[in-house]
Structure 1
Amino acid sequence: MPPRLHLRSLGQLAELQIYARPHLCGRCSYATASATVPAPTDSQIHSSRSLSQHYPPSQPPSHRDPKYRKSQRIRSYVSLLQTTPLIILFQHNSLKAVEWTGIRRELTSALRKLDAQLLAQGKTQEELIGEYVKLQVIKTTMFEPALRIAEYYKPEQQGPALTHALSESAYQAIKPQKGVHPLSPLLTGSLAILTFPTVSPQYIKTAFSILAPQAPIFAAPPRRLNPSLYELPVQEGLKKLMLLGARIDGEVFDRDGTRWVGGINGGIDGLRAQLVGMLQGFGAGLTQTLESAGRSIWFTMESRRNMLEEEQQGGKADAAEQPAKTE
């Protein structure tokens, strides 16, 4: 009978590996193969200065083990949230691969047509963003903590090695904020995001005409102009997409607010014009309010002054008549 081979599990093999830097705990720290060094003490763990000396800048200590795919996904989501001014959320219900392919194809085609149209109108190549608009599926369990890190984590001056998205300080900062963000109730189930490098109502309108058509503002292209849009896989996939809301320049918009931004005429110039009009209207209303308040105070004081003068004149008349009565 041949001898038995005692195979070790992956966990046992991991314990036998020699790391250049020890883990702070079972979940944290980068590791490289080299000679072992003593583990840091508790005082070193809580001291940012000793930590920055113990770990090189290329291998900072982490609360989440960076070897795992989930940790890297959180880092990518944080970077996306910090650099993308416009993110639109969609809920999708078990779309098939062929349906996703058709939807992305039609979205890319519509955005390229818009780029060509704007280029013919005199826009520069730098102002065209169609190729940078992306539709991607997200993991909500990873996107939600990444959103809290991007919104609520304001790192102190501890050095770049200790304030990254996976650091212990980031974890402790966002832990009390769970479920606080206005988008948190939406981050459940199957979600997809549409990202824009700039806030452009024209591109939003074009994207909605494909992903969330609604006449008359976001009417879908007619069949004679775009027959591929009406193919069965594309239409079946679009039925499973539902607009939820958006995050625009750090502010949360519901479905109606997102459509309002996409329906602004004139693109970004129209958006600026509406903003200026709103500010001017606010200033005029404030001026009118202050003027009416000033007029009200003036009328009140004037009526009071007239009453006092009448009382004084009546008192003098009574005093002049009093001696004549006594005689």
Structure 2
Amino acid sequence: MPPRIHPPSRTICSLREPQRSTPRQRQYATATAITPAASYGQMTASSPPIARHPPTQPPSYKPPEFRKSQLLRQYASLLKSTPLILLFQHNNLKANEWVGIRRELSAALQKVNAVRAAAGHTAEPLADAIKMQIIQTGIFAAALRVVEFYKPESQSSSSSIDPTDPATPSSATVPVFSSSGDGLTHTLSRAAHEAVADTRTAHALAPLLSGPLCLLTFPSVSPQHMKAALSILSPSPPKFPAPTRRANPGWHDAAIQSGLQKLLLLGARVEGKVFDVDGAKWVGSIDGGLEGLRAQLVAMLTSVGGGVTNTLESAGRSIYFTVEGRRTMLEDEQKEASGEMPKKP
């Protein structure tokens, strides 16, 4: 018997049949006022612009993420804030030689601090702030040219800050942008690069900036500390005698003597001025330091003033004596003529 096939129900047939689209009526929008789109100025006025560079890192001509750029900034800051720098050439010093030289230098500078404190000087001790460091010669030469030959103008009209002046503290606020709006004026800017592009041999230290170099930096000009440093690093009797073996036996060690033979004093930079070896030793040989130099200057000015005063007074005194002598002579002659005074034989 064949199977029974039931006809599909109406619900299933309705699902299988395609849905017929019912005609939709068109709707027409009424005329309304159309608001124009906001301009770019209106869009940016409400929200602040997105800064492409952080405020502490303005855009630079030299990429700031490179180590050379950071060394350039470091050397420029060092030159601006350090009034006294001694320049040495070093030739293949070993690590133990550097350690020994720095140890003996620190000990000699600490002795100067103790002597100054015993003498009653209230100035801050400088031994801990005096540093000896190896530099990259080419980058240091570029930083020196920027400091010496690049003079950015200041925004402030009341008090101008010269960032190239060694007396200017490193914490002083130096303008980042020029007042004319031409561009940036910091050390890594395009203006600084263009200003020193043709000054490679214009500086007085340029002939010395070759080969391996190291710097001995002083936070202030102190001839006493400078003399102690030269006696350790570059002794030259009689003004800069080397320490004796009894007073300082560590200085006579073989490692330190080997390292000192590889150190050569080239010159100095004092208050922005370049000194040769003789000039650097003259600064270190000032008796009494800056206080003694000021005392000598005061004594010289006092003696000059006293000499000028005596010269001026001597002219007036001679005229006074001449006039008084002539007046006395006339009075005597008048008395003789009137008979009040007997005539001289």
The bucket for the TM-score relative to the shorter chain is 0.5 to 0.7
The counterpart of 1:272, out of the listed 280, 283, 294, is 294
Q: Which amino acid aligns with 2:114?
A: A
| Whole-angstrom distance in 2 between the partners of 1:282 and 1:143 | 44
Aligned to 2:282: 260
The list of structure 1 runs, each at least 4 consecutive aligned residues, that deviate by more than 6 angstroms after superposition, is 277-285
- Summarize deviations over 1:65-93 as a string: whole Å, max 9, x none: 11100100000000000000000101111
Count of residue pairs the alignment pairs up: 235
| Whole-angstrom distance in 1 between the partners of 2:147 and 2:91 | 27
| Whole-angstrom distance in 2 between the partners of 1:274 and 1:91 | 34
Aligned to 1:214: 236
Aligned to 1:187: 209
What TM-score do the two structures reach when normalised by structure 2? 0.64
Aligned to 1:227: 249
Q: Which amino acid aligns with 1:229?
A: W
Indicate whether 1:156 and 2:178 are aligned: no
Rg larger in 1 or in 2? 2
Q: Which amino acid aligns with 2:64?
A: P
- Summarize deviations over 1:184-222 as a string: whole Å, max 9, x none: 110000111111011111111000110011111110111
Q: What does 1:56-75 align with in structure 2 at a 5 Å threshold?
A: 56-75=54-73
Q: Which amino acid aligns with 2:229?
A: A
What's the offset of the Cα at 1:267?
A: 1.1
Aligned to 1:134: 131
| Whole-angstrom distance in 2 between the partners of 1:283 and 1:54 | 63
What TM-score do the two structures reach when normalised by structure 1? 0.67
- Summarize deviations over 1:214-258 as a string: whole Å, max 9, x none: 111110111011111100000000011111110000001000010
The counterpart of 1:122, out of the listed 120, 123, 127, is 120
| Whole-angstrom distance in 1 between the partners of 2:124 and 2:293 | 16
Tell me the secondary structure at the aligned position of residue 98 of structure 2.
Answer: helix
Structure 1, unmatched stretches of 5+, are 1-52, 292-327
Aligned to 1:99: 97
- Summarize deviations over 1:84-130 as a string: whole Å, max 9, x none: 00001011111111101100000001111111111111122x43211
Give aligned-pair identity as a percent.
54
Tell me the secondary structure at the aligned position of residue 177 of structure 1.
Answer: coil
Tell me the secondary structure at the aligned position of residue 222 of structure 1.
Answer: coil
| Whole-angstrom distance in 2 between the partners of 1:118 and 1:167 | 44
Q: Which amino acid aligns with 2:144?
A: L
What's the offset of the Cα at 1:284?
A: 11
What's the offset of the Cα at 1:58?
A: 2.5
The structure richer in helix per residue is 1
| Whole-angstrom distance in 1 between the partners of 2:300 and 2:198 | 37
Aligned to 1:5: none
Aligned to 1:80: 78
| Whole-angstrom distance in 2 between the partners of 1:236 and 1:273 | 41
Tell me the secondary structure at the aligned position of residue 283 of structure 2.
Answer: helix
| Whole-angstrom distance in 1 between the partners of 2:234 and 2:151 | 36
Q: Which amino acid aligns with 1:58?
A: T
Q: Which amino acid aligns with 1:224?
A: R
Structure 2, unmatched stretches of 5+, are 1-50, 156-174, 178-183, 313-345
- CA 1:277 to 1:189, structure 2 compared with 1: closer, same or farther past 3 Å? farther
- CA 1:283 to 1:140, structure 2 compared with 1: closer, same or farther past 3 Å? farther
- CA 1:276 to 1:140, structure 2 compared with 1: closer, same or farther past 3 Å? farther
Higher mean Cα deviation, 112-121 or 100-109?
A: 112-121
Higher relative contact order (CA 8 A, sep 6+): 2
- CA 1:277 to 1:94, structure 2 compared with 1: closer, same or farther past 3 Å? farther
| Whole-angstrom distance in 1 between the partners of 2:298 and 2:149 | 30
What's the offset of the Cα at 1:59?
A: 3.0
RMSD, matched Cα: 2.4
- CA 1:61 to 1:201, structure 2 compared with 1: closer, same or farther past 3 Å? same
Aligned to 1:240: 262
- CA 1:170 to 1:111, structure 2 compared with 1: closer, same or farther past 3 Å? same
Q: Which amino acid aligns with 2:188?
A: L
- CA 1:245 to 1:275, structure 2 compared with 1: closer, same or farther past 3 Å? farther
| Whole-angstrom distance in 2 between the partners of 1:257 and 1:276 | 23
| Whole-angstrom distance in 2 between the partners of 1:59 and 1:215 | 50
Aligned to 2:197: 175
Aligned to 1:145: 142
- CA 1:278 to 1:188, structure 2 compared with 1: closer, same or farther past 3 Å? farther
